[in-house]
Amino acid sequence: MLEIADTVEPKRLQDDLIERLCTTLSGYLDQNQVRDCIRAYEFGAAAHAGQFRKSGEAYICHPVSVAITLAEMRMDASGIMAAILHDVIEDTSISKKELGEQFSQEVAELVDGVTKLSKIDGKSQSQAEAQAENVRKMFLAMGKDLRVILVKLADRLHNMQTLGVMPAEKKRRIARETLDIYAPIANRLGMNKIRHRLESLSFEAMYPLRYTVLTNAIKKARGNRSKIIDTIESAIKMRLDQVDLHCDVSGREKDVYSIYQKMLQKKVSLSSIFDVYAFRIFCDDVDTCYRALGIIHNLYKPIPGRFKDYIALPKANGYQSLHTIVIGPYGVPVEIQIRTHEMHRMAESGIAAHWLYKSDDDKTEKFQARANEWLRDLLEIQKSAGDSLEFIDNLKVDLFPQEVFVFTPKGGIIKIPQGATVVDFAYAVHTDIGNACVSARIDKQLVPLQTRLENGMTVEVITASWARPNPLWLNYVITAKARSSIRNFLKHFKQQEAISLGRRLLDKELQVMHLRLENIEESRIRALLEVTGMQSLNDLLGDIGLGNKMPFLIAKRLTQDDIYANIKLNDVDQIQKTALVIKGTEGMVITLAKCCRPIPGDSIIGYFNPGKGIVVHHHECRNRTVFLKTHTSWLDVEWSSEVAGDFPAEIRITVLNQRGSLATIASTISELGSNIENVTVVDQDDRVCVDLITLTVKDRVHLAKIMRRLKELSIVIKISRVRA
């Protein structure tokens, strides 16, 4: 919103703002601190001299307005100075170092945390990528100091209040970003007052016509409903007085954006939304809150399933209150919130209560602890995020939780978003438990990992030492922590597998020359890394394992000055006499071809697939001839004698088409310790049916045993294994 102008705006607005700021600061800071803030103002005004906003006011008016918002939250002196100077690094020639020298390193760090990145890695980026990188940088700074986000929220609030002069397209873009990121952050930090203001301003900027129509309609309806509101408020006060409960009662009008969201969700018109007004009952202590709830439910009938106890189970941002919806006079649903005065202060101010109410140290420390815990989780997520856009996707998931409360077997309570699965729960408990989970029990009943959790469930995760995350989990996990942990594990696991396979392949080639990798001189390895452009030996081995580099050629280069230099590059037969031993469970770098589905005991052959590793085929695969022509990098492989696990095999079976045939086949397969993965009906008539069955087996012997038993069944006409 910066613009250089030749005209000088009258200083009255500027003087009014600084006077208002000084008055507010004098109410809680000592004179030396106020003088430091004035010095920051003078420094900022000089730095921004000649700069004007598009609205025509001097640019310094914006940071001062931001500082006033923070002063109303009773922000400390360093935070106020950072607010006044928050655009100095970005929009003037002043550097972070100069700020540190002029004021303090603390102020300089805060300003730097709010400052946008002017250039990222020297590359041109899209608007979305630039915004994502800025948000990511801001969260890193928040991890060091929470005041960064308070300055940023106050900055965004003033920008939204002065959006009027911006082009319509830019208005919508800024408003959308505010609704997607900044309003949810304010909500996550418990700052409901700031959040509601941001939401209403964003709604007005994005949909000005809808905002105007809805605002006018609410004003018009206000008169018609005032009688109902007065009746309900009087009835509540009277009933509370009758039982000698001293509570404050206030009716409030819901903000326009909340009403609009409810109309969208329920797909109804404004006339159908009756709970435009909500009542709050403020009590002195928690015990009185529950007593007041009983009185309200005795006065008006509650709607089943619409009561929420956020006092016993606070929201993730620390919000506490009792929520209930009752049927009031004339059949109108009425929302009532019951909380203590202290809970209300915390609900409005959230993390800012740390500065507003310094006497309530225990309560504000809880808010601080919750915010810091959330930030730690986000910082853990951002470390494993591939790029800024992925981090933003994870952040958005984390910012919109509809919470579900589930229990651990020992009675602990875990909060997870609505729609979360067993895998999400496992990662919420601990990353290691998530990585090793294989199944779970819900209320002592075995369930699959993709089961969605509901309130009140008791969940026990079953783990195994051999287990590892499955890429398919990404299809149904919804929490940011689970998603980023799975991606991070798979990314590193594939790299480790590739390094291990690459080392085996290179050692196999060196064995022909009676050498081992550990016996090769360090200088020779360094020279090879320089030639291949690799940073480390592990990078080179990983590239070999992924099929991007041929192990024979790498071995040849390592030994090219030795007595083995006479070995020709085309002596492939000699080099590959020793077959590579595989287990088939390497998963990410050794893939078993789906066309012929090789199993332990089969004669097999493999080829390098660049970027993926080795693809293993049955030696008699019908596609082998085609692959031999198109792939020159073939490799002899053989099964390890220690191979263990379940491997998919496919059989073609012709059976009599009669009732119960498939059930008989399935039960026979199950009795022999196998599991059916898929059944496809290939052909069918009145007499016979031809099916393709994919089942899991241990090896060729296991498969032969199953086929022999199936052949003995009277309903089976013909059975054979499919190899392509």
pLDDT tens column, 286-315: 999 999 999 999 999 998 888 888 888 887
Q: What is the CA radius of gyration of the chain?
A: 34
pLDDT tens column, 203-247: 999 999 999 988 888 777 666 566 777 788 888 999 998 988 889
* Residue extent(s) of CATH 3.30.70.260 domains in the chain: 647-721
The CATH homologous superfamily to which domain 371-487 belongs is: Beta-grasp domain (3.10.20.30)
Pair 672, 701: CB distance under 8 Å: no
pLDDT tens column, 464-484: 887 888 888 888 898 888 888
Residue 392 phi, psi (nearest 5) = -65, -40
Rounded to whole angstroms, the Cα distance separating 417 from 521 reads: 55
User: Which positions ≥6 away from 389 have C-beta within 8 Å?
Assistant: 128, 129, 132
Average pLDDT over residues 501-514: 76
Average pLDDT over residues 318-336: 83
Assign a CATH topology to domain 647-721: Alpha-Beta Plaits (3.30.70)
Check residue 575 and give its pLDDT: 42
The kind and range of the H/E element at 456 are none
- Nearest Cα to Cα of residue 65 among 14, 123, 99: 14
- In this predicted structure, the answer to whether residue 710 has a pLDDT above a threshold of 70 is yes
**Residue where the block lists tokens 């579900």:** 404
Chain centre distance of CA 586? 28
Q: How confident is the model at residue 630 (pLDDT cuts 50, 70, 90)?
A: low
Helices (H) and strands (E) in the chain, counts: 29, 22
Pair 339, 290: CB distance under 8 Å: no
- In this predicted structure, the answer to whether residue 147 has a pLDDT above a threshold of 60 is yes
**Residue where the block lists tokens 């597998």:** 497
Active site (catalytic) residues: 90-91
Q: Which CATH class is domain 217-350?
A: alpha beta
Average pLDDT over residues 14-34: 87
Within 10 angstroms of residue 81's Cβ, the number of other Cβ atoms is: 28
22: which 2 tokens? Answer: 């000084």
Q: Counting beta carbons within 10 angstroms of the beta carbon of residue 265, is it exposed (0 to 12), middle (13 to 18) or buried (19 or more)?
A: exposed
* Residue extent(s) of CATH 1.10.3210.10 domains in the chain: 2-208
- In this predicted structure, the answer to whether residue 700 has a pLDDT above a threshold of 70 is yes
pLDDT, averaged across the chain: 79
Burial pattern 206-224, b for ≥16 Cβ within 10 A else e, equals bbeeebeebeeebeeeeee
Pair 126, 143: CB distance under 8 Å: no
DSSP 576: T
Q: How confident is the model at residue 394 (pLDDT cuts 50, 70, 90)?
A: low
What is the residue type of 103?
F
Pair 136, 383: CB distance under 8 Å: no
* Residue extent(s) of CATH 3.10.20.30 domains in the chain: 371-487
- In this predicted structure, the answer to whether residue 325 has a pLDDT above a threshold of 80 is yes
Concatenating the DSSP letter of every residue in 456-490 gives: T-BEEEEE-TT----GGGGGT--SHHHHHHHHHHH
Write down the architecture of domain 2-208 according to CATH.
Orthogonal Bundle (1.10)
The region of weakest confidence among 259-273, 281-295, 336-350, 678-692 is 259-273
- Nearest Cα to Cα of residue 599 among 552, 651, 558, 534: 651
The region of weakest confidence among 237-251, 311-325, 431-445 is 311-325
Pair 377, 369: CB distance under 8 Å: no
Residue 389 phi, psi (nearest 5) = -65, -40
- Nearest Cα to Cα of residue 1 among 83, 58, 82, 69: 58
CA distance readout (Å), 472 to 320, 438, 476: 37, 13, 8
Average pLDDT over residues 535-540: 80
Q: How confident is the model at residue 574 (pLDDT cuts 50, 70, 90)?
A: very low
540: which 2 tokens? Answer: 């080179």
The kind and range of the H/E element at 518 are none
Residue 252, classed as helix, strand or coil, is strand
* Residue extent(s) of CATH 3.30.460.10 domains in the chain: 217-350
Q: Does the pTM exceed 0.85?
A: no
Rounded to whole angstroms, the Cα distance separating 605 from 619 reads: 6
Rounded to whole angstroms, the Cα distance separating 489 from 499 reads: 15
How large is the angle between the packed helices 256-266 and 192-206, nearest 10 degrees? Answer: 70
Alpha helices in 300-387 (DSSP H): 341-349, 353-356, 361-384
- In this predicted structure, the answer to whether residue 176 has a pLDDT above a threshold of 90 is no
Within 13 Å, how many C-alpha atoms sit on residue 18's CB side? 19
- In this predicted structure, the answer to whether residue 576 has a pLDDT above a threshold of 50 is no
Rounded to whole angstroms, the Cα distance separating 257 from 199 reads: 6
Within 10 angstroms of residue 197's Cβ, the number of other Cβ atoms is: 20
